[in-house]
Amino acid sequence: MMLLRRPWRKPADPFSTTVVRMRVWPLDLDLNRHVTNGRYFTLADLGRMDYVLRTGAFRTALRHKAVPIVGDAWGKFRRELKVFESFEIHTRMLGWDDKWSFLEHRFVKDGRVAGVVVMRGVFRSSKGTVKPADIVRDLGVPDQSPPLPQWLSQWSDSCDGMSMQLRDEEAGAT
């Protein structure tokens, strides 16, 4: 549906916030009758798709023969979203480092944040990972990322630490 509506959606600057309006449906719910934790991550994918399409990052990825891949994601849940309630997903670029791009998805209902999903991802081609600076340069954005918040850098470092631990465990198991 998002691809069909694409021609009528306005292009967005990579540092703007894109907004997708949604509604909670019965299949989004858990036994507590509110949006299940895992569903936030699925809904964040829709916000990310809208962002990537509207900012032109998808066309840029195609020029690099690359596809976007999520490496890590975490969520913060603050308020319930219940059946048939409407809400918005606000997606914005937080910045990038040498390897990762960082996006934030805020789930907003009645002007209040119900939840947040943050992800770090890469664009991968058959030649390997495309540097975020190459992607943003094609979008007309300076190569230098805005400063990353300390909590985001610490989270990214912890993800790298977990990856190293898993590699070490796998190496020890063989």
pLDDT digits (tens, 9 = 90+) for 64-81: 999 999 999 999 999 999
125: pLDDT strictly greater than 60: yes
pLDDT, average across residues 94-122 = 97
Does any domain span residue 122? yes
d(CA 94, CA 120): 10
Does any domain span residue 6? yes
Does any domain span residue 28? yes
- Single out the residue of 6, 78, 68, 3 nearest to residue 35, CA to CA: 78
Does any domain span residue 15? yes
| pLDDT score recorded for residue 100 | 96
Q: Any idea what the CATH number is for the domain that residue 48 is in?
A: 3.10.129.10
Confidence bin at 123 (pLDDT 50/70/90):
very high
Is the pTM above the cut of 0.85? yes
Angle (nearest 5°) at CA 69 between 65 and 75: 155
Does any domain span residue 114? yes
Give the count of domains, the chain: 1
| pLDDT score recorded for residue 37 | 93
Residue 90's domain spans which residues? 2-145
Does any domain span residue 62? yes
Confidence bin at 4 (pLDDT 50/70/90):
low
Percent of the chain exceeding pLDDT 90 equals 81
Residue type, 79: R
Q: Confirm if 105 and 112 have CB atoms less than 8 A apart.
A: no
